[in-house]
Amino acid sequence: MTETSQRSRPLRVLAAMSGGVDSAVAAARAAEAGHDVTGVHLALSANPQSFRTGARGCCTIEDSRDARRAADVIGIPFYVWDLADRFREDVVDDFVAEYEAGRTPNPCLRCNEKIKFAALLDKALALGFDAVCTGHYAKVLVREDGTRELHRASDMAKDQSYVLGVLDDRQLAHALFPLGDTVTTKDEIRAEAERRGLAVAKKPDSHDICFIADGDTQGFLANRLGRAEGDIVDESGAKVGTHEGAYGFTIGQRKGLRIGTPAADGKPRYVLDISPVNNTVTVGPAASLDVGALTAIRPRWCGAAPTGPGTYTAQLRAHGGETEVRAELVDGSLEVTFTEPVRGVAPGQAIVLYDDTRVVGSATIAATVRATAGVS
Amino acid sequence: MAYLDHAATTPMLPEAVEALTAHLGVTGNASSLHAAGRQARRTVEEARETLADALGARPSEVVLTSGGTEADNLAVKGLYWSRRDADPARTRVLASPVEHHAVLDAVHWLGEHEGATVEYLPVDSYGRVHPEALREAVARNPQDVALATVMWANNEIGTILPVRELADVAAEFEVPLHADAVQAFGQVPVDFAASGLAAMTVSGHKIGGPYGIGALLLGREYTPVPVLHGGGQERHVRSGTLDVPAIASFAVAGRLAAEQREWFAREVGALRDALIEAVRTAVPDAILGGDPVDRLPANAHFTFPGCEGDSLLLLLDAQGIECSTGSACTAGVAQPSHVLLATGTAPDLARGTLRFSLGHTSTEADVEAVAKAIGPAVERARAAGLT
Name the residue in chain B with its Cα closest to that of A62.
B331
Same domain assignment for residues A236 and A123:
no
Q: Are A160 and A153 in contact (CB under 8 A)?
A: yes
Q: Which of B314, B329, B383 sits opposite A52 (nearest CB)?
A: B329
A127 close contact with B: CB closer than 8 A = yes
Q: Are B156 and B357 in contact (CB under 8 A)?
A: no
Same domain assignment for residues A161 and A28:
yes
Nearest CA distance, A203 vs chain B (angstrom): 19
Same domain assignment for residues A296 and A274:
no
- The confidence band for A55, taking pLDDT boundaries of 50, 70 and 90, is very low
Residue A81: CATH number of its domain: 3.40.50.620
Query: Is A210 domain-assigned?
Result: no
Query: Is A208 domain-assigned?
Result: no
Q: Which of B313, B334, B387 sits opposite A86 (nearest CB)?
A: B387
State the fold for domain B14-259. Aspartate Aminotransferase; domain 2 (3.40.640)
Same domain assignment for residues A42 and A159:
yes
Q: Are B241 and B31 in contact (CB under 8 A)?
A: yes
What is residue A210's predicted lDDT score, i.e. its pLDDT? 83
Tell me what the pLDDT averaged over chain A comes to.
87
Query: Is A81 domain-assigned?
Result: yes
A–B CB contacts, 8 A cutoff, strictly below: 68
pLDDT cut 90: percent of chain B above it:
95
Residue B203 φ/ψ region, left for φ over 0, alpha for ψ in the -120 to 50 degree band, beta for the rest: beta
Contacts of B385 in chain A (CB under 8 A): 123, 126
Q: Cα(B38)–Cα(B34) distance, rounded to whole angstroms?
A: 6
Give the predicted TM-score (pTM) of the model.
0.87
What is residue A57's predicted lDDT score, i.e. its pLDDT? 38
Which of the listed residues A245, A264, A284 is the one where a domain comes to its end?
Answer: A284
Name the residue in chain A with its Cα closest to that of B383.
A126
**Side chain identity at residue B158, one-letter code:** G
Query: Is A56 domain-assigned?
Result: yes
Which of the listed residues A219, A249, A284 is the one where a domain comes to its end?
Answer: A284
Same domain assignment for residues A64 and A113:
yes
Same domain assignment for residues A96 and A8:
yes
Q: Are B329 and B338 in contact (CB under 8 A)?
A: no
Q: Is the pLDDT of residue A47 over 90?
A: no
Same domain assignment for residues A309 and A346:
yes
Q: Cα(A226)–Cα(A220) distance, rounded to whole angstroms?
A: 10
Q: Which residue has the higher pLDDT, B11 or A216?
A: B11
Segment 314-353 of chain B within 8 Å of chain A by CB: 314-315, 317-318, 329-335, 338
Instruction: Print the domain residue range for A347.
Output: 288-370
Question: What is the per-residue pLDDT across A65-77, written as a single tens digit (0 to 9) for each?
Answer: 899 999 999 999 9
Active site residue: A59, A108, A111, A133, which one? A111
Which CATH number is B261-384 given? 3.90.1150.10
Segment 47-106 of chain B within 8 Å of chain A by CB: 101, 104-105
Q: Cα(B346)–Cα(B349) distance, rounded to whole angstroms?
A: 5
Query: Is A93 domain-assigned?
Result: yes
- The confidence band for B50, taking pLDDT boundaries of 50, 70 and 90, is very high
B280 close contact with A: CB closer than 8 A = no
Nearest CA distance, B335 vs chain A (angstrom): 7
Same domain assignment for residues A255 and A321:
no
Q: Is the pLDDT of residue A374 over 70?
A: no
* Residue of A85, A61, A78, A88 whose CA lies nearest to A24: A78
Q: Cα(B32)–Cα(B208) distance, rounded to whole angstroms?
A: 29
Question: What is the per-residue pLDDT across B367-386, written as a single tens digit (0 to 9) for each?
Answer: 999 999 999 999 999 999 87
Contacts of B335 in chain A (CB under 8 A): 55-56
- List, in sequence order, the alpha helices (H) in A138-270: 169-173, 186-195, 217-225
Segment 18-77 of chain A within 8 Å of chain B by CB: 38, 41, 43, 52-58, 60-61, 64-65, 68, 77
Query: Is A274 domain-assigned?
Result: yes
What is residue A5's predicted lDDT score, i.e. its pLDDT? 45
Angle, helix B14-24 to helix B244-259, in steps of 10 degrees: 160
CB-CB under 8 Å, A81 with B381: no
- The confidence band for A178, taking pLDDT boundaries of 50, 70 and 90, is very high
In chain B, list all ranges with CATH 3.40.640.10.
14-259
Query: Is A207 domain-assigned?
Result: no
Give chain A's domain count.
Answer: 3
Give B163: exposed, middle or buried? Use CB within 10 Å, 0-12, 13-18, 19+.
buried
Determine which of A47, A53, A65, A83 to mutate to test the interface with B (most B C-beta atoms within 10 Å). Answer: A53
What is residue B34's predicted lDDT score, i.e. its pLDDT? 97
Same domain assignment for residues A85 and A182:
yes
Same domain assignment for residues A168 and A21:
yes
Contacts of B338 in chain A (CB under 8 A): 54
Torsion sign (Cα): B72, B73, B78, B81: positive
Query: Is A241 domain-assigned?
Result: yes
In chain B, list all ranges with CATH 3.90.1150.10.
261-384
* Opening angle at CA B134, ends B131 and B135, nearest 5: 85
Same domain assignment for residues A265 and A323:
no
- Catalytically active residues of B are 329
Residue A275: CATH number of its domain: 2.30.30
Question: What is the per-residue pLDDT across B105-131, written as a single tens digit (0 to 9) for each?
Answer: 999 999 999 999 999 999 999 999 999
Segment 233-292 of chain A within 8 Å of chain B by CB: none
Spatial neighbors of A195 by CB under 8 A, at least 6 apart, are none
Q: Are A91 and A110 in contact (CB under 8 A)?
A: yes
Same domain assignment for residues A276 and A292:
no
Q: Is the pLDDT of residue A341 over 60?
A: yes
CB-CB under 8 Å, B310 with A79: yes
Nearest CA distance, A161 vs chain B (angstrom): 27
Give A349: exposed, middle or buried? Use CB within 10 Å, 0-12, 13-18, 19+.
buried
Determine which of A36, A79, A86, A120 to mutate to test the interface with B (most B C-beta atoms within 10 Å). Answer: A79
Contacts of A128 in chain B (CB under 8 A): 315, 380
Angle, helix A21-32 to helix A61-74, in steps of 10 degrees: 20
* Opening angle at CA B333, ends B6 and A30, nearest 5: 90
Residue by residue, what is the 3-state secondary structure of chain B?
CEECECCCCCCCCHHHHHHHHHHHCCCCCCCCCCHHHHHHHHHHHHHHHHHHHHHCCCHHHEEEECCHHHHHHHHHHHHHHHHHHHCCCCCEEEECCCCCHHHHHHHHHHHHHCCCEEEECCCCCCCCCCHHHHHHHHHCCHHHEEEEEEECECCCCCEECCHHHHHHHHHHCCCCEEEECCCCECCECCCHHHHCCCEEEEECCCCCCCCCCEEEEECCCCCCCCCCCCCCCCCCCCCCCCCHHHHHHHHHHHHHHHHCHHHHHHHHHHHHHHHHHHHHHHCCCCEECCCCCCECCCEEEEECCCCCHHHHHHHHHCCCEECECCCCCCCCECCCCHHHHHCCCCHHHHCCEEEEECCCCCCHHHHHHHHHHHHHHHHHHHHHCCC
Q: Which long-range contacts (CB under 8 A, 24 or more apart) does A227-232 make?
A: A228/A279, A229/A279, A230/A278, A230/A279, A230/A280, A230/A281, A231/A279, A231/A280, A231/A281, A232/A257, A232/A259, A232/A280, A232/A281, A232/A282, A232/A283
Contacts of A126 in chain B (CB under 8 A): 380, 383-385
